[in-house]
């Protein structure tokens, strides 16, 4: 599994932390690459969102552009991600049935009803020491810290992201709108937070 994390040159502590976390948990065959994040001061793209939000959007889009040469999935990461010993197992399980475009492994749920639903599901799954995959299309969520893009969806997602003449929404909410309008499919793994289920 090719993993790419987005990181500013100045964020050296974050860089060290994510690389140490990956080294402690990643199985054989996984690789971690750094993508230099776009700085807000460099952004000239028009749009309603802030320069920092534009820089985040462009960083994700441009990082995705570096992996379009093949049909392999890619794990896209922001540099505050913490891996657990369960991350690889859950991603591998999801890749056994790749009927999705994106797989989120960490999101923030922003609706009280959805939060209660997820809390109940998490409790049941933790008690059973297993995980599940929940369709996000009807759940209000935010966050783009950690998500897998399937091989067949990489170029299509990149083309969608490049098609906007202006950046008027934060990256994670743009993904949410694509999902809501059925332009992409995207479950999330539950429990969230990289699946720290306990056990060995």
Strands 132-135 and 187-190 come out as: antiparallel
Residue 192 is predicted with a pLDDT of 52
Rg over alpha carbons for the chain, rounded to the nearest Å, is: 16
Burial class (CB in 10 A: 0-12, 13-18, 19+), 199: exposed
Residue 196 is predicted with a pLDDT of 37
How far apart are alpha carbons 61 and 162 in whole angstroms? 8
Structural domains in the chain, CATH included, are: 2-190 (3.90.550.10)
How far apart are alpha carbons 180 and 200 in whole angstroms? 37
Q: Quick count: other Cβ atoms within 10 Å of Cβ 144?
A: 24
How far apart are alpha carbons 181 and 143 in whole angstroms? 18
How far apart are alpha carbons 154 and 180 in whole angstroms? 18
Residue 117 is predicted with a pLDDT of 64
Residue 195 is predicted with a pLDDT of 38
Tens of pLDDT, residue by residue, the chain (200 residues): 999 999 999 999 999 999 999 999 999 999 999 999 999 999 999 999 999 999 999 999 999 999 999 999 999 999 999 998 888 888 988 888 878 999 998 888 776 556 666 666 666 665 656 677 788 888 888 889 999 999 999 999 999 999 988 999 999 999 999 999 999 999 888 765 543 333 32
The CA-CA-CA angle for residues 105, 153, 164, to 5°, reads 95
Residue 182 is predicted with a pLDDT of 92
């Amino acid at each position: 599994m090719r993993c790419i994390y987005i990181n500013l040159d100045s964020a050296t502590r974050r860089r060290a932390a994510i690389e140490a976390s990956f080294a402690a948990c990643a199985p054989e065959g996984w690789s971690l690459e750094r993508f230099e994040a776009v700085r807000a001061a460099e952004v000239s793209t028009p749009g309603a969102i802030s320069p920092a939000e534009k820089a985040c959007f462009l960083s994700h889009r441009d990082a995705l552009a570096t992996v379009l040469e093949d049909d392999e999935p890619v794990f896209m990461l922001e540099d505050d991600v913490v891996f657990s010993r369960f991350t690889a197992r859950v991603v591998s399980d999801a890749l056994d049935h790749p009927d999705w475009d994106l797989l989120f492994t960490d999101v923030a749920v922003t609706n009280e009803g959805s939060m209660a639903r997820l809390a109940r599901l998490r409790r049941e799954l933790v008690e059973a020491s297993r995980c599940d995959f929940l369709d996000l299309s009807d759940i209000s969520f935010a966050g783009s810290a950690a998500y897998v893009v399937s091989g067949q969806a990489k170029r299509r997602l990149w083309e969608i992201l490049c098609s906007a003449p202006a950046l008027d929404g934060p990256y994670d909410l743009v993904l949410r709108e694509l999902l809501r309008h059925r332009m992409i499919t995207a479950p999330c793994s539950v429990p969230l937070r990289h699946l720290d289920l306990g056990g060995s």
